[in-house]
Amino acid sequence: MTNKNNDLLELIKGLNINKSNIINYTDTKDPVVNNQEILGEDDGYVEVRDHQIFVINPSNNGKQPVLIPNSKLQIYVNGSLLKKEQVVFDDDDIRWNVKPTNDYGISISKDNLQVSLQVYPDLFIGYRLKDQKRARRIMIDIEPVEKYFDVEEIISQIAENIVKKGIRVEINTSAIMQEILDPKFKEILVAEGLPVIPSKDGYIQQYFSSVISEVLEEVSGMVDFKNRVKIPTVEAGEVIAQIFSPREGKAGHNVYGDSLEPKTPKEVIVRPKPRVKISDDGKVIALLSGRPSVTGSSVKQFDILDTYEINGDVDMKTGNIFFNGDVIVRGNIKDGMRIDCSGSLFVFGNVYHSTLTASQNVYVTGNIIGSKVNGGQFGMYYSSVYKIAQDLSVSLKRLQYAYSQLKVALSVKNTEYKIGYIVATLVETKFKEITKNVNDFYQIINKMLENKFQFPIHLQIVMNSLKKLKDYQAIHSIDSEQSLQSIQFSINELIQKMEADIQEESDISFYSSNLSQIKTNGRIIVKKEGIINSTLFAGTEINFEKRDSVIRGGKVEAVKTINAGIVGSAKGKSPILYAGETINITEINQAQITMRNEIIFIDEKITNLELKYNEKTERIESNKRLPSY
Quote the pLDDT of residue 541: 94
| Residue 569 domain flag | yes
Query: End-to-end distance of the chain based on CA atoms, in angstroms?
Result: 68
User: 402-459: per-residue pLDDT in tens?
Assistant: 888 888 888 888 888 889 998 988 988 889 899 999 999 998 888 888 777 777 788 8
- Is residue 512 assigned to a domain? no
Over residues 356-374, the pLDDT tens digits come to 999 889 999 999 999 999 9
Question: Which residues have CB under 8 Å from 80's CB, separation 6+?
Answer: none
Range of the domain at 438: 380-500
Q: How many CA atoms lie within 13 A of 591 on its CB side?
A: 30
Q: Are residues 158 and 18 in the same domain?
A: yes
**Pair (220, 231) in one structural domain:** yes
- 528 and 600 in a single domain? The answer is yes
Interval 179-197: pLDDT, tens: 999 998 999 999 999 999 9
Is there a single domain that holds both residue 397 and residue 359? no
* Count: domains in the chain: 5
Give me the CATH number covering residue 542: 2.160.20
CA distance linking residue 224 with residue 382, whole number of Å: 38
pLDDT of residue 503: 64
Of all residues in the chain, the percent with pLDDT exceeding 90 is 52
- Residue that terminates a domain, selected from 377, 395, 428: 377
Q: Identify whether the C-beta of residue 510 lies closer than 8 Å to the C-beta of residue 550.
A: no
Lowest-pLDDT choice from 98-102, 270-274, 572-576, 609-613: 98-102
* CATH number of 395's domain: 1.20.120
Query: Per the domain annotation, does 86 fall within a domain?
Result: yes
The answer to the question of residue 197 being in a domain is no
Q: What is the pLDDT of residue 629?
A: 66
- The answer to whether the beta carbons of residues 191 and 167 sit under 8 Å apart is yes
Please check whether residue 355 lies inside any domain of the structure: yes
Residue pair 190/117 in contact (Cβ under 8 Å)? The answer is yes
Residues 395 and 283 both lie in one domain: no
| pLDDT at 25 > cutoff 70 | no
The residue type found at 181 is L
Where does a domain end: 259, 279, 305? 305
Regarding whether 316 and 298 lie in a shared domain, the answer is no
The string of pLDDT tens digits covering residues 306-328 is 888 898 999 999 888 888 788 99
Query: Quick one: 41 and 173 in the same domain?
Result: yes
**Could you tell me if 276 and 222 lie in one domain?**
yes
Q: How many CB atoms within 10 Å of residue 14?
A: 7
The residues with which 230 forms a beta bridge, in sequence order, are 213
Q: Which one of 330, 346, 377 terminates a domain?
A: 377
Q: In terms of domains, do 387 and 373 share one? A: no
Same domain, 486 and 339: no
List pLDDT tens digits, range 524-539.
Answer: 999 999 999 999 999 8
Q: How far apart are CA 468 and CA 466, in angstroms?
A: 5
- Closest to 64 measured CA to CA, from 78, 48, 44, 46: 44
Task: For residue 508, tell me if it sits in a domain.
Answer: no
pLDDT above 50 (res 1): no
Residue 217: is its pLDDT beyond 80? no
Strands 45-49 and 52-56: antiparallel
Cα distance between residue 26 and residue 31, in whole Å: 12
Indicate the average pLDDT of the chain: 86
**Are 464 and 536 within one domain?**
no
Q: How far is CA 470 from CA 123, 420, 429, 433, 478, in A?
A: 89, 13, 16, 11, 12
Does some domain include residue 518?
Answer: no
Q: Is residue 71 part of a domain?
A: yes
Same domain, 292 and 240: yes
